[in-house]
Amino acid sequence: MAVQYMASITERYEQLGYTPYRWYQADEPPPFQPMRKPLSESRLGMISTSGAYTIGQVAFHYKDDTSVREIAKKSSNDEIHFSHITENYLANPRKDPNCIFPIDALRKAEADGQIGELAPEFFSCMGGVYSQRRVREELIPELRAKFQAQAVDTVLLVPM
């Protein structure tokens, strides 16, 4: 059964007596760009909002954590863990990280030539950041800089 995430959060806030959650409403569409070359010739980066981290890294804390974790593309599934404000949605990813951090599928696509190459590290953040300002001013610029440093051609966003 599919989880109606936005309805669930709205209902939870109401039951707890909180101020209604203010979902982000964009003033204009995002500035997407057409791909400049085929995926089979591109370097692909990935960002997951799942709160993924690897053994030895600090887990995400829950309230407005705008930090980013680098996860090497060679990381094994056993090394990948999750820490997220929506803990109740992590049961399956904790059994198989590929549910929300598709590292195996990306490595296979690279090996099969569907992707030119993968960036050396993927990135993860904790998508439950309530401050839109902090996302715009802290998280997005940091991710942009990291992707530019890796010289990626395109980025796969895997939201949780």
Residue-wise pLDDT for 57-99, tens only, equals 998 887 788 999 999 999 999 999 888 766 666 666 678 888 8
In a domain, 73, yes or no: yes
What does the pLDDT read at residue 1? 67
In a domain, 29, yes or no: no
What does the pLDDT read at residue 88? 60
pLDDT above 90: percentage of residues in the chain:
49
In a domain, 6, yes or no: no
Round to whole Å and give the CA distance between 128 and 51: 9
Angle 82-86-88 from CA coordinates, rounded to 5°:
85
The amino acid at residue 27 is D
Structure pTM?
A: 0.82
- At 158, list the tokens: 């895997």
* Structural domains in the chain (count): 1
Contact criterion met (CB below 8 Å) for 44 and 155: yes
Contact criterion met (CB below 8 Å) for 146 and 68: yes
When pLDDT is averaged across residues 124-145 and rounded to a whole number, the result is 89
In a domain, 2, yes or no: no
In a domain, 116, yes or no: yes
Q: What is the extent of the structural domain holding 153?
A: 37-158
In a domain, 126, yes or no: yes
In a domain, 7, yes or no: no
In a domain, 3, yes or no: no
